[in-house]
Amino acid sequence: MQVTPKIVFHGMDPSPAVEAKIMERIEKLEEFHSRIVSCRVTVSAPHRHSRKGKIFEVRIDISVPGREIIVNREPGRDHAHEDVYIALRDAFNAAMRQLEDHSDKRGGIRIKEHAPKGHGTIARLFSDEGYGFVTTPDGRELFFQRDNVTGDGWRGLDVGSEVRFTEMEGEGGPHATAVTAV
């Protein structure tokens, strides 16, 4: 972000916990849309003469190249917004949807980051049972199944074959997926 985010409180004392939650949500927006220029969040607790608690209003102003995105979550009759964290969640979810719409309309391509590819060799292969183990350069062994081998590569694998793979964390520990013979 080119400009430091600004957080403003109206009708309530500033809260470090609320500020921390807002900064966390702004960071998530930045992970999704890296071209955010500026962001201003206003949290208001308007004075109400009623028996119910205060209903929070959250306004988010986001600048991205070519557009200003404004989210104004007015309380209306939504008593869930008596909790400032729920009001923030709803406002930031709406901001995320508007950023998605903006990216889609501009033909923006969002690239999902993938885990880096690892390199190793087949240490053990149990062809009849449909699984094996890959040894990594640092000496670890990763489990993989026949379904984790790309294409028709299972038939071409032997002990000692060089492979590329993606390491994932599973219930039984780390395992290799997207195993491809080199």
CATH number for the segment(s) 117-181? 2.40.50.140
Q: Is the whole-model pTM more than 0.95?
A: no
CATH number for the segment(s) 6-105? 3.30.160.100
* Spatial distance between the Cα atoms of 146 and 179, rounded to a whole number of angstroms: 9
What does the pLDDT look like over 134-174, one tens digit per residue? Answer: 999 999 999 999 988 887 788 889 999 999 998 888 777 88
C-alpha dihedral, 79 to 83 to 87 to 92, nearest 10° = -150
Q: Where are the domains of the chain?
A: 6-105, 117-181
